[in-house]
C-alpha cells in the first residue's frame, strides 16, 4: 500500500511540475464555436441499443486551451431523446413511449494524446479523452392524439413510498434538474491558423431514472393517468397494480455524437508575442 501511495504521489508531482512548466512555456488561448450532432437515450425502454431513435442535438462550446495537452471546456447542449417499446421491442407488450427535451450545461477537462494547438502546421491532429460534470434540465413528454403531453403533470406510477431515497420524489416532480457525469473520446484537428474542428462521442451517466418517466411499479387502476381517453400509465392494459413498470436498479443515460467548429482567440500571457505558435 505504501509503495502504491508513493507511486501515485510521484505521478501527481510530475503532473503538477508539468503543469507549472506549461504556465511559462505555453501561452493560453480560447476557442469558441457551435456544435451539432445526434443524441440518444439508454434506459428502461432501451437498455442495450446505442443510437436507437437518435435525434438532432446542437449547442455551443467555449474551450480554454491551458497548454498543448490540457484543455478545459464549457458547453451547452440542446438535446432531444426518445424511445418507444413498439420500435425498440425490449418490452413491446408494455406499449410505453416518451420524448424528453434536455438543456445540458457541462464543464469538462480534455487530455490530448499528442501535443496539439490550433495553427500548428506539423502536429495538427490529436485524439483526446475527456470527463467532467454537468447539470441539466429535462422534461419528458408523451404523444397523445398527435400532441405532446407533459408527463410531469401526471402521476403515472405508484408513489415511491418511505423507502425511496430522499431526493427521488423531488427530482421527479418538484425540481426538473439533475446532475450527470459526461465522458468520452474525440479527435481534434487544426483547419487553419485560427480555426479548428472536433469529432467526438460522449456518454452521460445521469443521477435520475426519470428521463423516460419510467422507474417503479404500476398503481391501482383508479390511480392511472388518463388524458383524452389515453392511459399514460398502461396503454396496453396488460398490467396490474404492483407489477414492475421499470427497472429501479439503474439510472438513465444519454449520449451524443457530434462535430464542432471553433475559432481561436489569443489571450495575453504577459510575455509578449510568441510568433512561433501564432
Task: Output the 3-class SS for 25-66.
Answer: HCCCEEEEEEEEEEEEEECCCCCCCCCCCCEEEEEEEEEEEC
The pLDDT score that the predictor gives to residue 170 is: 54
Query: Within a domain: residue 274?
Result: no
Scan for cell 481534434, then name that residue: 188
Residue 199 to residues 62, 106, 125, 188, 253, Cα–Cα distance (Å): 15, 17, 11, 7, 20
Cell numbers describing residue 256: 451524443
The answer to whether residues 99 and 148 touch, using CB atoms and an 8 Å cutoff, is yes
Q: Domain of residue 245: give its range.
A: 25-266
CA angle 116, 131, 173 (to 5 degrees): 145
The pLDDT score that the predictor gives to residue 273 is: 44
SS3 for 115-183, per residue?
CCCCCCCCCCEEEEEEEEEEEEEEEEEEEECCEEEEHHHCCCCCCCCCCCCCCHHHHHHHCCEEEEEEE
- Alpha-carbon distance 32 to 7, whole Å? 38
- pTM score, two decimals? 0.82
The pLDDT score that the predictor gives to residue 27 is: 64
Query: Within a domain: residue 6?
Result: no
Query: Within a domain: residue 5?
Result: no
Cβ-based burial of 11 (10 A; exposed 0-12, middle 13-18, buried ≥19): exposed
- Alpha-carbon distance 153 to 145, whole Å? 17
Query: Within a domain: residue 252?
Result: yes
Per-residue pLDDT tens listing for the chain (278 residues): 445 444 454 455 445 445 444 443 456 899 999 999 999 999 999 999 999 999 999 999 999 999 999 999 999 999 999 999 999 999 999 999 999 999 999 999 999 999 998 988 888 999 999 999 999 999 999 999 889 999 988 889 887 655 555 555 555 556 689 999 999 999 999 999 999 999 999 999 999 999 999 998 999 999 999 999 999 999 999 999 999 999 988 999 999 999 999 999 987 764 444 444 44
The answer to whether residues 150 and 233 touch, using CB atoms and an 8 Å cutoff, is no
- CATH number of the domain residue 70 falls in: 2.40.160.20
The answer to whether residues 205 and 253 touch, using CB atoms and an 8 Å cutoff, is yes
Query: Within a domain: residue 276?
Result: no
The pLDDT score that the predictor gives to residue 159 is: 74
Query: Within a domain: residue 213?
Result: yes
- Alpha-carbon distance 271 to 76, whole Å? 33
The pLDDT score that the predictor gives to residue 172 is: 55
Residue closest to 21 by CA, chosen among 66, 65, 72:
66
- Alpha-carbon distance 80 to 76, whole Å? 13
Q: What is the CA radius of gyration of the chain?
A: 23
Q: Coil, strand, or helix at residue 11?
A: helix
Query: Within a domain: residue 271?
Result: no
Query: Within a domain: residue 4?
Result: no
- Alpha-carbon distance 124 to 117, whole Å? 7
The answer to whether residues 90 and 70 touch, using CB atoms and an 8 Å cutoff, is no
**Length reported for the chain:** 278
Residue 21 to residues 14, 18, 27, 65, 66, Cα–Cα distance (Å): 10, 5, 11, 15, 11
The pLDDT score that the predictor gives to residue 120 is: 86
Domains identified in the chain, total number:
1
Amino acid at each position: 500500500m505504501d509503495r502504491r501511495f508513493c507511486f501515485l504521489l510521484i505521478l501527481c508531482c510530475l503532473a503538477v511540475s508539468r503543469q507549472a512548466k506549461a504556465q511559462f512555456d505555453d501561452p493560453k488561448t480560447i476557442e469558441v464555436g457551435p456544435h451539432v450532432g445526434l443524441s440518444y437515450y439508454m434506459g428502461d425502454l432501451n437498455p442495450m441499443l446505442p443510437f436507437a431513435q437518435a435525434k438532432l442535438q446542437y449547442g455551443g462550446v467555449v474551450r480554454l486551451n491551458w497548454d498543448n495537452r490540457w484543455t478545459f471546456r464549457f458547453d451547452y447542449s440542446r438535446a432531444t431523446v426518445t424511445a418507444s417499446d413498439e420500435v425498440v421491442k425490449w418490452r413491446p407488450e408494455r406499449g410505453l413511449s416518451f420524448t424528453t427535451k434536455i438543456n445540458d450545461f457541462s464543464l469538462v477537462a480534455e487530455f490530448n494524446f499528442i501535443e496539439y494547438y490550433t495553427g500548428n502546421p506539423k502536429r495538427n491532429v490529436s485524439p483526446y479523452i475527456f470527463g467532467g460534470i454537468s447539470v441539466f434540465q429535462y422534461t419528458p413528454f408523451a404523444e397523445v392524439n398527435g400532441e405532446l403531453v407533459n408527463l410531469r403533470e401526471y402521476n403515472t406510477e405508484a408513489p415511491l413510498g418511505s423507502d425511496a431515497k430522499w431526493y427521488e420524489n423531488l427530482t421527479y416532480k418538484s425540481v426538473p434538474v439533475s446532475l450527470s457525469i459526461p465522458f468520452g473520446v474525440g479527435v481534434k484537428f487544426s483547419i487553419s491558423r485560427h480555426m479548428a474542428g472536433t469529432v467526438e462521442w460522449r456518454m452521460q451517466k445521469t443521477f435520475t431514472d426519470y428521463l423516460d418517466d419510467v422507474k417503479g411499479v404500476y398503481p391501482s387502476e383508479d390511480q392511472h393517468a388518463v388524458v383524452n381517453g389515453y392511459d399514460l400509465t398502461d396503454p396496453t392494459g396488460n398490467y396490474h397494480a404492483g407489477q414492475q413498470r421499470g427497472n429501479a436498479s439503474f439510472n438513465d443515460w444519454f449520449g451524443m455524437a457530434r462535430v464542432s467548429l471553433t475559432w481561436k482567440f489569443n489571450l495575453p500571457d504577459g510575455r509578449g508575442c510568441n510568433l512561433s505558435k501564432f
